[in-house]
Amino acid sequence: MLYLPYMEHTEQEEIFQVVDCQGTPLASGDTVQTIKDLNVKGTKISLRKGTVIKNIKLTGDEEEIECRVDDMKGIILRTEFLRKKS
């Protein structure tokens, strides 16, 4: 029987920063604006260019955010189509 030395496994927390299309950092609770017309898959909703989305939530992916638009919860949008609203 082969005995391997005990190896300590440490989980490193992934540190990532979510940024919009211009490279501005985003945080949960920010307000963003769409930079082009977006069709939401699975619904008849189309988000027009310039649609303001309030109170975003960050997901585990640095390229996606979760938001609520027109009383629809859980919509996932890619950050490359969003700009932080000043």
Residues 58 and 25 sit within 8 Å (Cβ to Cβ): no
Domains of the chain plus CATH, in order, are 32-84 (2.30.30.40)
Residue type, 65: I
Q: What span, in angstroms and rounded, lies between the C-alpha atoms of 27 and 56?
A: 8
Q: The pTM is what?
A: 0.76
Q: What is the pLDDT of residues 7-64, one digit of tens each?
A: 555 555 557 799 999 999 999 999 999 999 999 888 888 999 999 999 999 998 999 9
Report the alpha-carbon angle 81-26-73, nearest 5.
65
Q: How far apart are CA 24 and CA 43, in angstroms?
A: 29
Amino acid letter at 5? Answer: P
Identify the pLDDT of residue 16. Answer: 77
Is a pLDDT exceeding 60 seen at residue 70? yes
Q: Give me the residue label for tokens 């996932």.
A: 76
pLDDT band per the 50, 70, 90 thresholds, residue 71: confident
Higher pLDDT: 43 or 5? It is 43
